[in-house]
Structure 1
């Protein structure tokens, strides 16, 4: 009987950074010790060998040559959020979950830090993780009614101006109903996952990943009503480039895929039927992730009330709570005269006297 083939893990690293290359070498060695096959894109294999030479411990399979994405069970991403977006683009359409180790700054999509690399790889070998799904966007560009491009995004699709010195004029619609029009630097159409990325920087709300919704966030809009909007997951948000100024725009999806937008172009964003799958070692409340990644101040907070606190409070005499009815439910108070006296009413004689003092017949009172 033939042996069961080893599980294959796709290792994706930022090969332009030495710390990412070092992390990839360490991860591949641990995977090999655990009996798992490591896989890397052929270009990444060449980049690592060019940086470190012929390392005898570096023997990954080359993606596309030795195996295909359909043979991979999980992707290990070593880098920041940009590396995760690159990995999500690479595995799109194959349902491969991604587990990221943060080597960047915030690393909001990452599950662990560089110091936890050994524990992370060991958890992969033991399959000690769960897989969650994050909503993605389908993005369609139409020009004069004709489909010109189709792509997707995990974080956001941003429509931005092409010329720095001019504003882009847009019309925003929700479910084919025009909502507002204004000049701006651009608009961000995002997901809850992207609410902590570009949309957050543009002043949008932070949306919990469990909320199924689409976000619309203007960028430097020249308008009185240009507030961020949160719409339902089954809606379609459209942005039309107005032709009045003949200004052009550009579409950026996750900061990686771009499409030029001439006047009269239309960008339509809907919820994708294919989510992005992320592997989690220890699922924690999203609020904890926010506090950790953004270093939010929580010092002094003593935590929720415990059973001991409740018992101690019950043992202490507490004043009875008084219920006060709303003001409109009680009797009407007596009418109080206004604090200032009423203005005098001018007689016809007074009016004539005032008019005669002003040759123009105007009002000279202050």
Structure 2
């Protein structure tokens, strides 16, 4: 779900932005500094985390502890780094109304909104309150012992992984949906992911890519020794249970690769939709499909189009991938022409 920024409606008091920065790279630190200076000049307060403040050295910034109160009263949590830094920032913004806005300085960066070259445009959007806020489904995790008592819990934006604690042994699991047993198998682990996390760990394990505005829960086995061990997509209202038999391998839960919990002998892990979504601020209106094409370098011409210029020649893609307009390499000045998606019998 997408909504306009509440800052534009005058519902907030003094405006503040919390910075979270991957301080291990000098170029990222410099970009964060120049961005903070512009926000301060525009009358927007800047907060920095106390463990990052010595590296950032931003005059006029408010230094706050790195805890659940860091994003209190902040309108935006602006992230400078990759998806790992973004997930760390999500922990800080979790129980506030702050929206996350990422500048991708990592390798892929599906969570981040902005590439480095568009930072000035993003800062202008923050200053003018010209951004929207998406609410992304998050998941809640309960670890239950064999007696039915909840002994631990956490949450995740991307995924939780029920993993074997001993690498040399197979993890035996029983899968249930809404309290009804579904299947059992031996595996390296089981992933329970959100649509936001479908392009992360779950994708690497063979799961489907799910558009982030789809509300659903994903279950993806990892290296399962079974005939029926396909990825599953369930209702967002379902409860997904991964039970570990008492005579099986020791298991643990990893949430977003950042928080871990041990699963007791004979215990189970219950995953359901979290009561609070994660809020992500968006400036650019690019469709998710376009982000997939850009991030993964996907071919959008179709295999037949590459043959029009003859063997060994590749056709350049135009800016409009939907109409599939291309320009022949034999005549680069030729006006872009539309190539039929179906091809002809001569193409075969």
TM-score when normalising by structure 2? 0.80
Partner residue of 1:202? 205
Alpha-carbon deviation of 1:211?
Answer: 1.3
Partner residue of 2:271? 269
> In structure 2, the residue corresponding to 1:77 is in which secondary structure?
strand
Q: 1:297 aligns with which of 290, 296, 299?
A: 299
Partner residue of 1:59? 60
Partners in 2 of 1:250 and 1:22 — Cα distance?
39
Q: How does 1:19-58 map to 2 (within 5 A)?
A: 19-49=27-57, 58=59
Indicate if the aligned counterparts of 1:217 and 1:229 stay in contact, CA closer than 8 A: yes
Deviations 1:203-253 (A, max 9, x none): 0000111211100000000111100000011100000111223x1011000
Partners in 1 of 2:51 and 2:70 — Cα distance?
15
* Aligned residues between the structures: 295
Partners in 2 of 1:60 and 1:103 — Cα distance?
22
Greater helix fraction, Structure 1 or Structure 2 = 1
Deviations 1:1-38 (A, max 9, x none): xxx96411111101222222112111111112222111
Indicate if the aligned counterparts of 2:75 and 2:97 stay in contact, CA closer than 8 A: no
Deviations 1:144-194 (A, max 9, x none): 221111110000011011111111000000001011111000000001001
> In structure 2, the residue corresponding to 1:11 is in which secondary structure?
strand
Partners in 1 of 2:197 and 2:42 — Cα distance?
35
Partner residue of 1:17? 25
Matched, 1:214 2:195: no
Higher alpha-carbon Rg:
1
Partners in 1 of 2:178 and 2:234 — Cα distance?
10
Structure 2 stretches of 5 or more lacking a match? 1-11, 306-316, 326-339, 341-348
Partners in 1 of 2:322 and 2:121 — Cα distance?
29
Residues 228 and 128 of structure 1: CA distance in aligned 2, closer, same or farther (over 3 Å): same
TM-score when normalising by structure 1? 0.77
Alpha-carbon deviation of 1:68?
Answer: 5.6
- What is the RMSD of the two structures over their aligned residues, measured on CA atoms? 2.1
Indicate if the aligned counterparts of 1:161 and 1:168 stay in contact, CA closer than 8 A: yes
> In structure 2, the residue corresponding to 1:40 is in which secondary structure?
strand
Structure 1 stretches of 5 or more lacking a match? 50-56, 307-312, 314-366
Indicate if the aligned counterparts of 1:28 and 1:58 stay in contact, CA closer than 8 A: no
